[in-house]
Structure 1
Amino acid sequence: MTVLTRRRLLRRAALSATAATAARVSVRPTAGVAISAASALTAACDPDSPDADPNPERRLGLRFPDGFRWGAATSAYQIEGAAKEDGRGASVWDTFSHTPGRTRNGDTGDVAADHYHRWASDLDLMKDLGLRTYRFSISWPRVQADGTGKANQRGLDFYRRLVDGLREREIEPMATLFHWDLPQALQDVGGWENRDVAHRFGDYAAAVFEALGSAVPVWLTINEPKTVVQNGYLGGHHAPGLRDPEAAYLVAHHLQLAHGLAVRALRASADARIGPAFNLHPCYPVDDSPEALAATHLYDGYENRLYLDSVLRGAYPRDVLDDLGPGSRMVRGIKDGDLAVISSPVDLVAVQYYTPYYVAPSGDTEVRWPTSEAFWQQIFPDGLFDTLTRITRDYGPVPLTITENGLPCPDVLGADGTVDDPGRVEFLRDHFAAAHRAIEAGVPLESYHVWSLLDNFEWAEGYEQRWGLVYVDYPTQRRTLKRSARWYQRVIRDNEV
């Protein structure tokens, strides 16, 4: 890795990790008129904003194909709690969140939304919403406290109850094997920098498949490997909290290898479908200059093609490898046969879409659209259409599912016991419309999971941001359906936006 590449990667990570108050300088809409960050946030979530749609629930008359499945998504560390119960071991996120200064307000996932104890009533809530599919994750340290060895039966029993409860309520389970909660014992021996951890993941996957197998019709392997790389090993604002570009892209390779090993483990043991879960960001040049086009292509390589190409084409993008350099830890870490494992045939690809990037000739990015409470998130529904159609165009008709899409709003429980979040309704409506347009353009999109079902522990942001369809009052753990949930209930019932 050249000094220039190392500096550029760290600069990008630093920009993404900058506090919201520092990062929100201005937002440039396509008309070129600068608006303040405050008005950008207002446009996203405030019903009194002049830019807000006065009737976000209006029908667009867009009917989805028969059999299209509507759902919601969560992850284990963000909702389960019960951090030290029934044999669960410590994860890197337990360690990270308990380290002073790592999370907002010192928040941890020790209790989260207490889903471990409230799973049955939460499933009833899903049934009331009409969900057809539910995407959740399995906690590796709940199944293997130290990341190796015999599976913890109490942990497996929890997920068996959850899966059986979903099926009893006619909700299709979609399970993710890894959503960032690596057992701390494996981090102590190098974490994802250690190639052996990818093989331990394959063993863990095999244990889970043996226990749950075909009871779960759809499995996802690694959730957002790019986020582990960029936030955990470049920016340092996610667990394990490192800033080391050389380690980061070796980690990227080992995560992709772990994915392939899990795919092979499923093929050997169960009759179910499996694929990766990638957060994909469409990359656009800020102008038509050759320099901006070249910078955008490389940016797209790091953001998207590094992950898509290796799984769907069996090769890493040449421009990214050249940029990292032949001496980089990643390039040196690729062994014979690795890419054959990584590209083991998958049944679907899970797409998670939140924001576009606009890339300048320097390789830095600019903000072009209103942002949400998450300062890094630009509200641009057409980016979802572009992402979905790009996959079909570039990689063929692999079945797709959207497994995360949503935004945070400053939701407040009203005196009348309701939560009014019209900004979230407008956001989801416009993204659903983009997905519908992609289907009409020939994209084989099967399902859509809103992020998130519940307000929860939002990683480094703690409990400050609320992303859920369902409001959680953390002191009492009382659940309240927001306006967006009631609206979504109708969308599901009618299969129409």
Structure 2
Amino acid sequence: MQNKFLWGSATAAYQCEGAWNEDGRGLTQWDDFSHNSELNVNKVTGDEASDFYHRFEEDIKLLAESNQNTFRFSIAWTRILPNGYGEINQKGIDFYNKVINTCLKYGIEPNVTLHHYDLPLEFAKNGGWANPTLIDYFVEYAKVCFNAFGDRVKLWVTHNELRYYAHCSYLAGNYPPNHKLDFNTYVKVMYYGMLASAKVVNEYRKLGLDGQIGIVSPAASVESLEDTNEAKVAIENAELYYIRSIFDPAVFGKYPEKLIEKIKNSGIDLMSLS
């Protein structure tokens, strides 16, 4: 697998599975938003989506027929642990076992994401990723998945694009909880999210599983139309807060010193809740 060129497709559980209230699945922050928020102006939900929950074999077969050899999909945390913690939902385990086994049946390498934005509702109501208590819950959820699926899944992702999740949730305000320009919480979500990712990677290593694990994040250069001192400061801030806040801890295991200094100078206390 490591030496094979992989070309395929990617989905997220809430965007494709549907079956939002079937077989013991718990509620997520997106269920709450799509069903109850007045900000859902188009009244669109993921209740049915593309019905992957019932049509996964058909979809995976189409991947193989189009000569794709990998499929990145996310596990819905609340299908495995309906409350986000505690009792395991065996029907959720069974579903993802069927998806993984079907991938292998058609020669598709499963690439599994643990968190693709669909946070369990109870956690979302208690501060989400700005609350450091979520870290240990995420680790326990990941361990359940590793133990259930790690014998066949060789590619794992901790978070999908944590930066976009934090930006849309706390700066742009178009993702729940729909905060706008809440930079204080944005920084905490990025920090605790990366700490959770690192701890999950460490747990995977301790299990001695034969696979690869990391985080998915977009990378891009930061440019400006102006060559002013203000623009240079903005470029540096963007690189630190949007890019290096992900890649430095993922690669080097620590935050950039300049970023730590800027966070302190902004009066943001990473050890307190939002």
Equivalent-residue separation in structure 2 for 1:231 and 1:221 (angstroms): 19
Tell me the residue number matched to 1:194. 131
Considering fraction of residues, name the structure with more helix: 2
Alignment partners' CA distance in 2, 1:160 and 1:134: 14
Shift, 1:264, TM fit? 1.6
Between the aligned partners of 1:90 and 1:154, the Cα distance in structure 2 is: 15
Which of 242, 259, 266 is matched with 1:320 structurally? 259
The yes-or-no answer on 1:329 pairing with 2:269 is yes
Q: Which residue of 2 aligns with 1:233?
A: 170
- C-alpha distance in structure 1 between counterparts of 2:40 and 2:86, whole Å: 31
Once the two structures are superposed, residues 315-365 of structure 1 have per-residue CA deviations (whole angstroms, 9 ceiling, x without a partner) of: 2123333333253133x46xxxxxxxxxxxxxxxxxxxxxxxxxxxxxxxx
Residue of structure 2 equivalent to 1:254? 192
Q: 2:106 aligns with which of 169, 177, 192?
A: 169
> Partner letter of residue 201 of structure 2?
V
2:42: which partner in 1? 105
**Matched-pair identity in %:** 36
Supply the distance in 2 between the matched residues of 1:267 and 1:156 (Cα, whole angstroms): 22
Mapping of residues 418-437 of structure 1, within 5 Å: none
Matches within 5 A, 1:370-389: none
Q: Distance in 1 between matches of 2:174 and 2:226?
A: 31
TM-score of the two chains, using structure 2 as the length reference: 0.92
Gaps of 5+ in 1: 1-65, 334-497
Which residue, out of 22, 26, 40, partners 1:85?
22
Q: Distance in 2 between matches of 1:90 and 1:174?
A: 24
- How many angstroms apart in 2 are the aligned matches of 1:241 and 1:214? 38
SS of 1:216's equivalent in the other structure is: coil
Cα deviation for residue 104 of structure 1 reads: 4.4
- The secondary structure found in structure 2 opposite 1:258 is helix
Q: Structure 1 counterpart of 2:44, which letter?
A: D
Partner Cα distance (1:236, 1:295) in 2: 21
Return the offset for 1:160. Answer: 0.6
Structure with higher RCO (Cα < 8 A, 6+ apart): 1
Structure 2 distance, partners of 1:135, 1:227, is: 18
Task: Return the letter of the residue paired with 1:186.
Answer: F
Q: Which residue of structure 2 aligns with residue 383 of structure 1?
A: none
User: For the structure 1 residues 67 and 209, does the alpha-carbon distance in structure 2 shift closer, same or farther, using more than 3 Å as the test?
Assistant: closer
Q: CA RMSD in A?
A: 1.8
- In the alignment, the residues of structure 1 paired with residue 33 and residue 172 of structure 2 have an alpha-carbon distance, to the nearest angstrom, of 14
Report the 3-state secondary structure (helix = DSSP H, G, I; strand = E; otherwise coil) of the residue aligned with 2:42.
Answer: helix
What CA deviation, in whole Å up to 9, does each residue of 1:18-69 have, x standing for no partner? xxxxxxxxxxxxxxxxxxxxxxxxxxxxxxxxxxxxxxxxxxxxxxxx9322
Is 1:285 equivalent to 2:224 in the alignment?
yes
Structure 1 residue 153: Cα displacement: 0.8
Q: Residue 79 of structure 1 aligns to which amino acid in structure 2? A: C
Pick closer, same or farther for the CA change 1:280–1:102 going to 2, 3 Å. farther
The aligned runs of 1:71-470 (5 Å cut-off) are 71-243=8-180, 244-269=182-207, 270-326=209-265, 327-330=267-270, 332=271
Q: Report Cα offsets for 1:106-149 as digits up to 9, x if no partner.
A: 10111111000001111111111111111110000111111001
Secondary structure, in 3 states, of the residue corresponding to 1:286? coil
Other structure's SS at 2:165 match: helix
Q: Alpha-carbon deviation of 1:228? A: 1.9
Q: Give the Cα–Cα distance (whole angstroms) in 2 for the partners of residues 109 and 124 of structure 1.
A: 23
Letter in 2 for 1:74: T
Q: Which ranges of structure 2 fall in alignment gaps of 5 or more residues?
A: none
Q: Distance in 2 between matches of 1:321 and 1:99?
A: 38
CA distance in 1, matches of 2:120, 2:38: 21
TM-score, normalization: structure 1?
A: 0.52
Distance 2:202 2:37 in 1: 40
The question of whether the paired residues in 2 share the 8 Å contact of 1:247 and 1:329 is answered with no
Letter in 2 for 1:328: I
Give the length in aligned residue pairs: 268
